[in-house]
Amino acid sequence: MQTRGDGLAPSSRWQQVLLRLIPILAAALVLPAFPAAAADAGGIDARVLFTLGVNLGVIAFAVGTAIACLRAKQAANEAREATAREAERLRESEATLEAVLAAEPQMLLAWNGEGQQPRILAATLPSAFGVPRDAEGLLRFEEWLEAPSVRELDLALQELAEHGQAFSLALPTLRQRYVEVDGRAAGGSIALKVRALSLPQIERARLAEEHKGLDAEIAALRALVATGGASAGVALAASGRELDAPAPQAGIETRFRSFDRLATAFAVFDAGQRLAHYNQAYVELWQLDPGWLATHPRDGEILDRLRQARRLPEKADYQGWKRSWLASYGTNVQGEDEWHLPDGRTLHVIADAHEGGITYLYENVTERIALESRYNALIHVQRETLDTLREGVAVFAPSGRLRLYNQAFAAIWRLNPRQLDAEPHIDEIITWCRVLYDAPEEWERTKAAITGIVAERRPYESQLDRGDGSVIACAALPLPDGGTLYTSVDVTDSKRVERALIERTDALEEAHRVKTAFISHVSYELRTPLTNILGFTEMLASLTAGPLGDKQQEYVADILSSGLTLGAIIDDIIDLATIDAGTFELRPSHVKVRDVIEAAALRVGDRLKQNDMELKIDIEAGVQEFVADGPRVTQILYNLLSNAIGFSAAGGTIVLSARRDHDMLALTVEDQGCGIPEDFQATAFDRFESRSQGSRHRGTGLGLSIVKSLVELHRGTVALTSTPGQGTRVEVRLPLKEAAEPDSEEPYFRSSLAG
């Protein structure tokens, strides 16, 4: 609600104004009556008081009514704004849902079954599938599905509406295109999704249709046994012809004509065990001569010929097996057997005996058995593979039922394998798992990932901190067939190590921060008294306070030298602390190479004289200037020269050279000192790494560390090569030019350690 400058809402201000008007209005209505009443009666009578009370009551009622109206108006405005915000949120949610639904080619229909008209939520399936794009047309299944598919879908929808049983069917359309029809119940609504199948799913659906066709053929042939076979035997017997050369009746031919196109081989034998009828599949299966079959051979003769051609199962007692097989005639029973032929084929043979003879059905199940064998082997391999994993794995079907799991999954969630073997629904598994981790929102998310109907299924990961102290990392991954892979990993140990490392890192960082702050503070505190010491020492050395003796002058010189050394150490510490804090700044400019070299040489001049050493300077022709922070480059060279002097013997020579290397300036300091052992060279630039290496020099171990930091801030490199007993060579390479303008008032580069 908006407020004015005085901090009050408009309605509050109006209420205060009305309250302030009450005494004013009362005075305006009452005061005129007081003089007249006083003049008439010399005082206030009852009539005046009554009039005053009535007026005050009317005023109070009016003010109260006004305040109530203002408050009601304010509440209405707030409700209108809240309604507008909610409407905007719903519009955004609707736009997002429409975008998600449009991302997948599908037809999505929903209705609540309580008088609400079905409505289309998504209509992105290509028209080539022949699926209607309106709700009424989509529900008229007979207009776009084949009759068997219509019956199957109607039954599935009935189960869904009555019992909430979800289904997922692969059905062929009238345009010979396969679609997946998925039905789910969500609350009081029913959702029906039609979408295209992937190539593997189409192949499985085609095989399923073929299997249904074969089942229908077998059922039809079984129905034929009770009628067609008997009729054949009666017709043959009534013809009066000899059984050795019977002629098929026209009625028999008419009756069996519709079965000649079946892919399943069948043959009908009459009561005299002679072949009465067969189809082309029978001829192709057994590779028999049609002319010979036209003579109506006996059942035993056909078996003998097939055995001679090695097309029957290998039997040790063939004659006994043959008698047993032919003993079915006249028994009115149905028998089944599997024949494993020598050529590797497997036949499922059905012998349906009746009074008129026997009808044989031969189904080639070689491919089916091979597929089942491969499938069982694959499942066995998968189970064996999963059981070797330490990661808990569970595979759920699109219906939400457990299809596959490993022992690790049962162990992590402490589940009974016998219960899991019963393929329970995800709801049951969640109920069992909530004993260890009771978080309804997390389990609802898991259930939605496994059973939810969404246009685009996304994987998700989660970490569960269970009450028993263990930490479980879980993930749900959608599978191409509509199922879900759910994994669980016990990461308790790794999380403990991770947390310990984080705590240790935090502690080390805090210790480093405290150390840096302490050193920086101490360094700043030392600089002030040191400056005073150096000032008084220089005053004494200049003899301003009076003459000094030779010994006193020597002492003063030592104090001054030690003070300068201590000052340099403090400066190095402050520089390192500034670099660590990320506030160290370089100020580049055009620098003369000879100027920075001579400045560094001047600073080490006294030490060179004390050690009777010679400094040779070699500047390559054409090397004149570069862009850098001049004082810092001088500091780099000074530290390198000081280090070289400290590790060189008296009377030695140090070489400082400068040369151009493409777009870099190479500055090299080389001495003939004791050198650095190979095992120490890798840590020579680390802080506080200092070794005398047999010399009298003992530094703080900060010189080379400062060199490395300043060189890297200039975006350069430093390299050290040394041979014990022969000397050390340090090369610094700095860019001749920088991308930033050199004379800018702002620093062009800060410490890379900032933040």
Are residues 557 and 522 both part of a single domain? yes
Please tell me whether residues 174 and 113 are part of one structural domain: yes
CATH number at residue 406: 3.30.450.20
Last residue of a domain, one of 48, 74, 96: 96
DSSP 3-state of 249: coil
Q: Characterize 320-331 residue by residue with b for buried, 16 or more Cβ atoms within 10 angstroms of its Cβ, and e for exposed.
A: eebeebbebbee
**Which residue pairs from 714-722 have beta carbons closer than 8 angstroms and sit at least 24 positions apart in sequence?**
714/586, 714/628, 714/629, 714/632, 714/633, 714/749, 715/749, 716/664, 718/685, 720/676, 720/681, 720/684, 720/685, 721/681, 722/675, 722/676, 722/681
Chunked into runs of 10 residues, the chain (755 residues) has average pLDDT values of 49 57 56 51 64 77 79 84 82 67 77 72 82 87 88 88 83 85 79 78 68 64 52 39 42 55 85 90 91 92 92 91 90 89 92 87 88 80 78 90 90 92 92 92 90 78 89 90 89 86 87 73 74 84 81 84 78 74 81 93 87 92 92 91 87 93 93 84 72 54 82 92 89 79 47 40
Asked whether residue 549 falls in the same domain as residue 563, the answer is yes
Last residue of a domain, one of 197, 218, 234: 197
CA torsion through residues 94, 99, 101, 102, sign: positive
- Rounded CA-CA distance 72/77 in Å is 9
The answer to whether residue 370 is domain-embedded is no
Judgement on whether residues 180 and 329 belong to the same structural domain of the protein: no
Pair 211, 273 in one domain? yes
Q: Which of 344, 364, 384 delimits the end of a domain?
A: 364
Q: Kind and range of the H or E element at 170?
A: strand 167-172
Tokens of 89: 């949120």
In one-letter notation, the amino acid at residue 68 is A
Please report whether residue 192 resides in a domain: yes
CA 516, 520, 525, 531: dihedral to nearest 10 degrees? 140
Tell me whether residue 227 is in a domain: yes
Is there a single domain that holds both residue 588 and residue 528?
Answer: no
Identify the H or E element spanning 30: helix 10-30
CB 357 within 8 A of CB 273: yes
SS3 of 400-463: CEEEEECHHHHHHCCCCHHHHHCCCEHHHHHHHHCCCCCCHHHHHHHHHHHHCCCCCCCCEEEE
Whether 286 and 357 map to the same domain: the answer is: yes
Q: Tell me, yes or no, whether 369 lies in a domain.
A: no
Residue 153 CA neighbour count, 13 Å, CB half: 25
Asked if 22 and 60 touch (Cβ cutoff 8 Å), the reply is yes
Same domain, 379 and 482: yes
Number of domains making up the chain: 6
Among candidates 595, 629, 640, 608, which has minimal Cα distance to 731?
A: 640
Q: Identify the three-state secondary structure at position 537.
A: helix
Domain match, 460 and 587 both:
no
Q: Does residue 3 fall inside a structural domain?
A: no
Query: To which residue do tokens 């190095």 refer?
Result: 572
Per-residue confidence (pLDDT) for residue 653, from 0 to 100: 92
The answer to whether 732 and 666 are in contact (CB under 8 A) is: yes
> Which CATH number covers residue 577?
1.10.287
Any domain includes 723 = yes
Q: Does any domain span residue 5?
A: no
Q: Does 114 reside within a domain? A: yes
Residue 230's pLDDT is 43
Residues 191, 302, single domain; the answer is no
Segments in 309-405 forming alpha helices (H): 318-326, 366-387
| 97 vs 99: CA distance, rounded Å | 5
CA distances from 179 to 126, 151, 206 (A): 11, 16, 11
295 is in which domain, residue-wise?
A: 207-364
In three-state form (DSSP H/G/I as H, E/B as E, the rest C), the secondary structure along 679-699 is: HHHCCCCCCCCCCCCCCCCCC
Question: Encoding tokens for residue 301?
Answer: 């003769």
427 with 478, same domain? yes
pLDDT at 752: 43
Distances (CA, A) of 420 to 132, 407, 410, 559: 42, 10, 8, 86
Q: What's the rounded Cα separation, in Å, for the pair 406 and 415?
A: 11
Q: Tell me: do 224 and 179 sit in the same domain.
A: no
